[in-house]
Amino acid sequence: MKSLFPAICAVWMVAGAAAQTAPTAGEIADRLTANDLKADVSFLASDALEGRGTPSRGLDIAAEYIAAQFRRAGLEPAGDDGYFQTAPFLSVTPNLDGLELTIQIGDKVIQPGHSSIAVVDPVAVDLGKTLAVWVSAAATERLNALTPEQVRGKVLIIDSAASGPGGRGGGRAPATLLARLRPALVLLLLARPGGRVSTSAAQLRDASAAAVPVLLVWDEAVRKALDEAGPAEVAISAKIAAPSSVPVKLRNVVGVLRGSDPALKDTYVLVTAHYDHLGVRGTGEGDHIFNGANDDASGTASVIEIAHTLASFPSHPKRSVVFVALFGEEAGLLGSRYYARHPVFPLAKTVADINLEQVGRTDVDNGSRVGLVNVTGYDFTTLPRALKKAGEEFDIQVLKDERNSDSYFARSDNQAFADAGVPAHTLSVGYMFPDYHQVGDEWNKLDYENMAKVDRTVALAILLLADSTAAPEWNAANPKTERYVKAYQGLELPATSK
Ligand SMILES: [Zn+2]
């Protein structure tokens, strides 16, 4: 597709070692084109791939396409199976037969009905009267301060109901917290069943991770009793039957552009996007394919073309650049969490993650947003500086969206890397677009010229980061980074000594 390589070789031979200079903005612009991005997105978001649900045949075909593009670019395969990092998962279906839950609050005994309970991460449970530790979901400091000793063998009740409707995270227990605390059972109290809550839907689980059983409960009587009882003792009895589970093979696609500096090549800049979307939903007349062109074939195509562009230059950056297309973001950051648990390259030596989401549509956030890109958690690390500097070369403003920058930090795969301590952000042109999570998110609605400019900015920023001896740092002065700074300090090696 690209025929520039022989020409570059000729220049290289003439100029000898002196030609080993970093690519210029102009050279990047020549090679990273709107048309190539359109080609990738139109395939990935075609009806033939059936919305790339996790797991599905469409998702597997997308993975093959991405691997083929990495091969074409000349990236080194970095998975356990060529470019594929194989993730053994289980599709687990809860068994509601014999489900029992008794909640004793002070002298009140409540047994919520099956219509107000859902089983998440089903594991067989048989708990006699067991003491519970009760924390409001809004009391994040108290939640994060809990120690395994305080919770071990007990039931952890996380009260999301008190934070009222509209609060996000309904139906999701904080996965990393549970993995650390390992309570015998978690009750997640909701004000009402969230959109995702289904009492018997199959769920995906990393086969290598120990699961903590979670029951979602939305029952007015429980809430009322908790409100009235004050700090009364709460005890729980519960019975959950063993679920049925079927093995599922999921795959991240991983390729590396090996660094050129003898010392820095063993440090890594990650460039990520999720290649899954929502699949096919519903039946009957009309369109049921959720194509996910902007979300997130746009990010995936960007990863492919940025990889292709950077790999096409004779000189490689000093640090290694790792390109990863992730599965299962829409199902709860499954691919990124899997990578963080099973890192292909050491996280302690991973200096940054740039995650790309929704970079194609410019008709976003109730306006037309051309020539800009937003960064989530803009003030969390020093990484956006490199992006800002790169943007100046391509007329792309790199911005903090005052309303959405911080709240969207947790809404994509960068979160999994940040939780592991790696400075990580998501770049998006905008957040809400008219076809968000609808069947109309089709490839012909993207602004590919603008997307190419955004991606050129990202490509140049990657080079700035990968060629710099200084690694991005968390902004410890921002209280919102506390948990990430802690995780960063817990990594084996401090990043600054990389
Ligand atoms: Zn997305």
117-129 pLDDT tens trace: 888 888 899 999 9
> How far, in Å, from the CA of 157 to the mean position of ligand 1?
30
Question: Which residue ranges make up each domain of the chain?
Answer: 4-90+247-497, 95-242
Segment (H or E) for 61: helix 57-73
> How far, in Å, from the CA of 240 to the mean position of ligand 1?
33
Better-predicted residue by pLDDT, 325 or 196: 325
pLDDT of residue 494: 47
Q: How far apart are CA 333 and CA 105, in angstroms?
A: 35
pLDDT of residue 16: 39
Q: Quick one: how far is CA 248 from the chain centroid?
A: 20
> How far, in Å, from the CA of 32 to the mean position of ligand 1?
22
Amino acid at 460: L
Structure-block tokens of residue 109:
């005994």
> How far, in Å, from the CA of 274 to the mean position of ligand 1?
7
pLDDT of residue 119: 87
H runs (alpha helix) in 193-277: 220-229
> How far, in Å, from the CA of 250 to the mean position of ligand 1?
18
**8-state DSSP, 462:** H
pLDDT of residue 167: 38
Structure-block tokens of residue 209:
């991770």
> How far, in Å, from the CA of 333 to the mean position of ligand 1?
10
Mean pLDDT lowest among 50-59, 178-187, 271-280: 178-187
Q: Quick one: how far is CA 455 from the chain centroid?
A: 19
Mean pLDDT lowest among 157-166, 220-229, 273-282, 351-360: 157-166
Across-strand partners of 86? 251
> How far, in Å, from the CA of 376 to the mean position of ligand 1?
13
Structure-block tokens of residue 156:
């952890």
Across-strand partners of 100? 239
> How far, in Å, from the CA of 115 to the mean position of ligand 1?
31
> How far, in Å, from the CA of 196 to the mean position of ligand 1?
16
Query: pTM above 0.75?
Result: yes
CB 157 within 8 A of CB 133: yes
pLDDT tens-digit series, residues 269-328? 999 999 999 999 999 999 999 999 999 999 999 999 999 999 999 999 999 999 999 999
> How far, in Å, from the CA of 391 to the mean position of ligand 1?
23
CATH of region 4-90+247-497: 3.40.630.10
> How far, in Å, from the CA of 211 to the mean position of ligand 1?
25
> How far, in Å, from the CA of 330 to the mean position of ligand 1?
7
CATH of region 95-242: 3.50.30.30
> How far, in Å, from the CA of 357 to the mean position of ligand 1?
5
Radius of gyration of the chain (CA): 24
Q: What are phi and psi of 311, to 5 degrees?
A: -75, -15
> How far, in Å, from the CA of 273 to the mean position of ligand 1?
8
